[in-house]
Structure 1
Amino acid sequence: MVTALSHQPAELDAVIFDYNGVIGLQPTVPMWSGLAELAGWPTDQLGHFQNAFWSAREPYDSGESHDADFWTAVLGHRPDPELLTRLRAIDTAMWTSTDDRVVALLHQARLVDLPMVLLSNAPHPVSDALDASHWRPLMTDALYSARLGKNKPHPDTYRNALAATGVPNPSRVLFIDDRTDNCQAAAHLGLRTLHYTGSPTDIEAHLGLTTVAA
């Protein structure tokens, strides 16, 4: 048995994947708690820590601020070099666990030479870690917000990703993301979209992946 595209649905020529929440797994509560504890936040204030984390994240993801600036904003004081190194390492590790079911679909799509581009909101440390991952060679290209200088849903992020696919017509490219606002922005530029809610079979169906006899 071999895996193949039985057909390319509506002339699908390429796919743009989000990372976190699609290929990548969301951090667990214990992961968040461990990071909050390292950051010195009380164990009963995890929600407040997450609010501080996300409030400071956008300029870090876009490359406008460095890790020291980000963690200073989260902590309320500048961390010493040793603490900063540990915070950076744990933060990066939180975002680099993958869904094996989705990675398996990447392998299947690669077998039939379907161009795949990664488009992720990720700061430099996470971007570097993803580039070193075992599944990264499956992608035609990988674009990260910190390197682009812009986060999704800025239109230029999608334009760059579309250019990376090599497909001039956006209606022949599928964009997959777990955030509604990112999908809406992509659709506004003419891309087909899949709002991913955690079921790999949805990706399989949109790509037309089937297993057929050799």
Structure 2
Amino acid sequence: MNTPLVPALPRTELPDLEAVLLDYNGVIGLQPDADDWRQLATLAGWPEGTTEDFEAAFWKRRTPYDEGTITTSAFWSRLLRGDRTAPPGSALLDALRETDTEMWTRTDSEVLRILHAAQTTTGVPMVLISNAPRPLADRLDESEWCATLMSRALYSARLGVNKPAPRAYEAALAAANWPAPERTLFVDNLLENCLAAARLGLRTLHYKGDPGDLARHLLPRRSATAQPAASGIAAASTVLAD
């Protein structure tokens, strides 16, 4: 005769993580919109209708700025058009720096909610590892979410190296007190950065804008274990619900 299964009380399963390494832009931070790029292009002297060309030039020249190997003035001197100049201390350089920094500071409230919930329920340490120039790094350090969520915050301009260089991941692991790579989750919106992390043995989440993906990796899951009503018979089933 079959023994009926009686569900036991739900229990909580914690993710088996020792640390989480988080990218900023495209995960916690929202991407700039078309108006942001248009405003910055206009400030840099680019004619109307050339915003896409400006954005392409911006990214082509961005790597050494993010690495901290060139100054803000040097970065913008290569991007200005017309008769514009932005020497150190100029009002235009200040405006470019502020506009550039500000457009990267909007955050995804749902992602932050999930991170706070994970911190509260699991206590897993979180380390921010971002490709960011010094002005943006300074601004993010001043944010409330960074101060309350992150045990450490690392930026390429201070490290002198961008992801996906191995040294960036090694610095993040050191900041997290060297957790086991296989029990460390790295979250980034760029596939190349995730592939580089995976080569070092880290778990990865290639984040594509769905906070639910983050929740499934970080938040405790509820499990219900079914047990036999009659004693002496070992039978159980477990269902995990995200």
Residue 142 of structure 2 corresponds to: 132
2:224 aligned with 1:187, yes or no? Answer: no
Specify the alignment match of 1:171 in structure 2: 182
**2:232 aligned partner:** none
Cα gap change, 1:119/1:85 in structure 2, threshold over 3 Å: closer, same or farther?
same
The match for 1:158 is 169
Asked whether the equivalents of residues 59 and 65 of structure 1 are also in contact (C-alpha less than 8 Å), the reply is yes
- Aligned residues of 1:171 and 1:190 also touching (Cα < 8 A): yes
- After superposition, the C-alpha distances for 1:15-35 in whole angstroms (9 at most, x for unaligned) are 000000000000000111011
Cα offset, 1:209, TM superposition: 3.7
* Larger gyration radius, structure 1 or structure 2: 2
Relative to its length, the structure with more helix (as a share) is 1
Aligned match of 1:79: 86
The answer to whether 1:64 aligns with 2:73 is no
Asked whether the equivalents of residues 66 and 133 of structure 2 are also in contact (C-alpha less than 8 Å), the reply is: yes
Superposed structure 1 runs of 4+ greater than 4 Å apart: none
Deviations 1:146-175 (A, max 9, x none): 000000000000011011112431000000
Which secondary structure state, in structure 1, belongs to the residue aligned with residue 187 of structure 2? strand
TM, length-normalised to structure 1: 0.92
Report the Cα offset of residue 194 of structure 1: 0.2
Q: Distance in 2 between matches of 1:6 and 1:165?
A: 25
Q: What's 2:48 paired with? A: 43
1:205 corresponding residue in structure 2: 216
Provide the rounded CA distance (Å) in 2 between the counterparts of 1:22 and 1:197: 8
Contact 1:6 1:208 in 2 (8 A): no
* Uncovered stretches (5+) of structure 2, i.e. residues with no partner: 1-10, 224-242
Query: What SS class does the counterpart of residue 118 from structure 1 fall into?
Result: strand
Are the structure 2 counterparts of residues 62 and 6 from structure 1 closer, same or farther at C-alpha, using a change threshold of 3 Å?
farther
* CA distance 1:211–1:131, change in 2 (3 Å): farther
Q: Which runs of 5+ in 1 are unaligned?
A: none
Distance 1:55 1:131 in 2: 26
CA distance in 2, matches of 1:86, 1:22: 26
AA paired with 1:99?
D
Answering whether residue 121 of structure 2 is matched by residue 116 of structure 1, we say: no
Question: What residue in structure 1 maps to residue 14 of structure 2?
Answer: 8
1:149 correspondence with 2:160: yes
Count of residue correspondences: 207
Whether the 8 Å contact between 2:118 and 2:219 is mirrored in structure 1 is no
TM-score (norm 2): 0.82
Q: Secondary structure at the match of 2:13?
A: coil
Secondary structure of the residue that 2:49 maps to in structure 1? helix
- Residues 13 and 221 of structure 2 are in contact (CA less than 8 Å); yes or no, is this contact kept in structure 1? no
Q: 1:44 to 1:211 in 2, by over 3 A?
A: farther
d(CA) in 2 for partners of 1:75, 1:211: 55
Q: Secondary structure at the match of 1:15?
A: strand
Aligned amino acid, residue 86 of structure 2: P
**Percent pairwise identity:** 51
Q: What letter is aligned with 1:7?
A: E
